[in-house]
Structure 1
Amino acid sequence: MIAEDELSIQRIYKILLTSSGFEIIGMAKNGEEAVNMYKSFLKKPDIIIMDHRMPVKDSIEATREILQIDKIAKIIFASADITVEKLAISSGALSFKIKPFDNECLINNIKKTLGIKP
């Protein structure tokens, strides 16, 4: 699942992840939509890539709410704002990627988080 408010970045994630063999089961454009989408899934996503700055509800609040629903949800933050890294991790994100990032680095990080050999 992707939570990202910028459509162009959503498209990049979609191309990158699907070409690497991952299935995207949802695309949320803000934190509130991400939480509601997560609640609606019968089969929870293996991983969530969460942008930090989104309208309606930011990623910190969305992460906390998703982890209240599912304590084992795997969330990777992606943001150009390095100042939120500690807050992201303390909120429950498993890792933090600084935008812009190397595509291969993101894919390897996802695989590592999911326990897949890169």
Structure 2
Amino acid sequence: MNIFIVEDDIDLQNIYEFLLITNGFQVIGKADNGEEAITKYRNFIEKPDIILMDHRMPIKNGIKATKEIIMMNKNAKILFASADLKVKKQALLAGAKYFLTKPFSCKQLIQKINLFFIKF
């Protein structure tokens, strides 16, 4: 199972990557902002099983990036993560399949990703 991490906080990117790899997932790419995520997604030969998408990022936020990725591939599976519960509805309407509220523990992230794979 491969995952694409979209997160502007480099420390969080690295934590997510370490956590995912040590739990048997493959990280096939990382992006620092929504625009970079769209470009990388477009260029993936093998699309990720899950995109872990942050909300607040420079250049293009997670909602806009989610919409554009879904326009490219309506079957893209996006796990949206934000501390701002006000964007939950927007994220789901944009095409995210699941919303994860920040902050979350490492255990919660792995549990949600495993549930995400089962459900979607």
Smaller-chain TM-score range? Answer: over 0.9
**Whole-angstrom distance in 1 between the partners of 2:31 and 2:74:** 20
Aligned-residue identity in percent = 50
The aligned residue for residue 13 of structure 1 is 16
The aligned residue for residue 59 of structure 2 is 56
Q: State the AA in 1 paired with 2:51.
A: I
Output the TM-score relative to the length of structure 2: 0.92
1:25 aligns with 2:28: yes
Q: CA deviation at 1:96?
A: 0.9
Poorly superposed stretches of 4+, deviation over 6 Å: none
The aligned residue for residue 76 of structure 2 is 73
The SS at the match of 2:28 is coil
Which runs of 5 or more residues in structure 1 are unaligned?
A: none
Q: CA deviation at 1:108?
A: 1.6
**Whole-angstrom distance in 2 between the partners of 1:94 and 1:107:** 16
Q: How many residues align?
A: 116
Return the match for 2:110 from 99, 107, 110.
Answer: 107
**Whole-angstrom distance in 2 between the partners of 1:12 and 1:54:** 17
Which runs of 5 or more residues in structure 2 are unaligned?
A: none
Output the TM-score relative to the length of structure 1: 0.94
The aligned residue for residue 39 of structure 1 is 42
1:94 aligns with 2:97: yes
**Whole-angstrom distance in 2 between the partners of 1:50 and 1:85:** 12
- CA RMSD in angstroms, aligned pairs only: 1.1
The SS at the match of 1:84 is helix
Q: CA deviation at 1:102?
A: 2.1
The SS at the match of 1:55 is coil
**Whole-angstrom distance in 2 between the partners of 1:105 and 1:94:** 17
